[in-house]
Amino acid sequence: MNRTDREKSAKKAKKEKNSCLTAGLILTGILAALILLGFFWTPHDPNAMAAGPKFAPPSLRHLLGTDNFGRDIFSRVLQGAGATASIALTTLAIGAGGGILLGALTGYFGGLADEILTRVGDVLTAFPSILLALVVISILGPGNRLNVMLSLGLVFIPSFARVTRTAFAALRDVNYVKSARLMGAGSGRILAVHILPNTAPVLLPALTIGFNNAVLAEASMSFLGIGVTPPDASLGYMLSEAQGMLLAAPWYAGATGLVIVLLVFGVGLIGEGLRRDEKGVL
Amino acid sequence: MRYILRRMAALLATMLLVSLLAFIAFDLISGDAATAMLGTEATEESLAALRAELGLDRPLPVRYGEWLAGFFTGDLGTSQNYHQPVWELLAPKVGVTLRLSLLSFLLITAVSIPMGLWSAGRTRGEGLRTGLNQLCMAVPPFFTGILLSWVFGIILKWFTPGQLPDRAADPAGAFRYLLFAAAAIALPRVAMTVRMLRGVVNDEMRKDYVRTAISRGNDRAGVLRRHVLKNALAPVVTFLAQTMAEIVAGSIVVEQVFAIPGLGRMLVTSISNRDYPVVQAIVVILAFWVVLAGTAADLINARIDPRLRLEDGA
């Protein structure tokens, strides 16, 4: 590869990174707007029986048709997406909050606690998060929204701690941190003001991945009937409901699943865009 | 050899830790099984008698030791829900889940490695391929499973959704049924493996030794096969071991979609029923499977790359 070639491909990657990020932001923006709308207004009451005929195919009156009780599927999907997104965000807040705090402290201070926690984290991250979450929720008690968020949040802590720990440990002894220390800055200030902003290129993509994992894990748990249960049904529970009506109303399962896919796809594109931004050329 | 022994010791230590945690956690929450079985009307004497019979009056370490030994002797206690020995309940299900997992693993390996190698170094249509890759990663296995049952089960009638054919009576049908379930688990993981392999190979192709080899007149495909592949293999093997963990997670959900009577389905039912002896046993079996895959990957990598054997691997 000669020089101009390399420049060309660097330019190309740059352009493509932008399109990744842009596409992701647009898609996620549209979905977020719809979800926000769903909190205040839905075309029909999502739980009203007989809002229309049973198993009506998609039409102008019922954009995504109706289910076995004549409930409007579009309204239900809007509401379910809201439940899914808010659970995922809460889970992310618990997991990322705990993980970043733990990772920052262990990465910056090191020592025996760091050694032990890192080993424990290595063992825990080897297991699939859904398996761990199932263990935690069977201890806390299944079928409760708070327990779902708590169990998933706890399970996501080790992976965030691991990413954060590496980033903080790498910046522990760089010159600007040393000089801040010499100027008498306290540890808390160094961690929050001097190091944390510089770990953003690593942490931001990790947050998008975390969000997606949270959406998928919650959807799986609710699909299995151990997660969120009615009345505040999430997309996962609705999909398990829709599976039973696959013969009569395939659009129900299709629409519900598609919303999960688009949500994860959009945020995934944002993450990929951010990651390329950091790396430059892929 | 020393490396192998060290990895085995680490495997053993991890499994002991995992089983201990599982035992203590479920022991704490399951409370007093005797009270649960006899109800609140029971007298102190009958409770004490039942506790003695169940062995609940003995200290925790003793009970842990006996439970652990049960994995080798086959005595894992009794299911509170099915009133059947846990081992008898689980034994037929282990094979089903094992077959599903292996099938899925083979599918992922066979599809993603050629695709990843093909995709590496090609820049045409990269934007489209990135998009497609991200899309495949976004599809949860249970949704793929539902789509597959709809298209191939309901429309094309290749199989009856919800009915795993008996393996003795209809081996081909049973295999086809499991293949669809395995494909549902595999799809997002294939996308991830392709992406990862592509990244590793591309990084490797930029290195000096590749430039040297090409400047000597070797063609790209030959360099890829003879030099790059071996260097790129180690991270891929590690990644595939993590894939085994993801397959376990996927099979829990996909067994539910396809109504496959495996460990995953049993786990979900038992959690809903709070049947802790069963949950405990399944968690330890699945964990063992995951840890074993990780150890196997480490051993394979040590064979591929002797440098790894020198590291302090714990």
Range B217-227 average pLDDT: 82
- In terms of average pLDDT, the best of A196-200, A234-238, B185-189 is B185-189
Phi, psi of B85 (to 5 degrees): -60, 135
Residue B149 near chain A (CB below 8 Å): yes
- In which band, very low, low, confident or very high, does the pLDDT at A151 lie, cut at 50, 70 and 90? very high
How much is the pLDDT for B36? 62
Task: Tell which residue, B194, B187, B193, B182, has the closest CA to residue B248.
Answer: B182
Exposure of A271 by Cβ count < 10 A (0-12 exposed, 13-18 middle, 19+ buried)? buried
β-pair partners for B85: B78
CA end-to-end span of chain B, whole Å?
Answer: 15
Residue pointed to by tokens 């760089």 = A174
Residue A186, token pair as written in the block = 């306290």
How much is the pLDDT for A1? 46
CA distance A254 to chain B (A): 8
User: When comparing pLDDT for A44 and A103, which is higher?
Assistant: A103
Closest alpha carbon within chain A to B248: A128
Range B135-150 average pLDDT: 92
Residue B135 near chain A (CB below 8 Å): yes
Range B149-171 average pLDDT: 85
How much is the pLDDT for A100? 94
**Cα Dmax for chain B:** 89
B257-277 pLDDT tens trace: 999 999 999 999 888 888 888
Range A218-234 average pLDDT: 83
Task: Tell which residue, B100, B109, B112, B91, has the closest CA to residue B177.
Answer: B100
Range A221-243 average pLDDT: 84
Task: Look at A16-25, B55-64, B243-252, B303-312 and tell me which has the smallest mean pLDDT.
Answer: B303-312
Task: Look at A96-105, A228-237, A265-274 and tell me which has the smallest mean pLDDT.
Answer: A228-237
Range B168-178 average pLDDT: 87
A126 vs B contacts (CB less than 8 Å): 242, 245, 290-291, 294
B32-77 pLDDT tens trace: 566 666 666 667 777 777 777 666 777 778 888 888 888 888 778 7
User: With an 8 Å Cβ cutoff, are A139 and B22 in contact?
Assistant: no
Q: Residue A275 and residue A277: Cα distance in Å, rounded? A: 5
CA distance B49 to chain A (A): 27
How much is the pLDDT for A152? 92
Q: Is the pLDDT of residue B294 over 80?
A: yes
User: When comparing pLDDT for B58 and B97, which is higher?
Assistant: B97
Report helix, strand or coil for A57: coil
- pLDDT, mean over chain B: 84
- pLDDT, mean over chain A: 85
Residue A86 contacts by C-beta under 8 Å, 6 or more apart in sequence? Answer: none
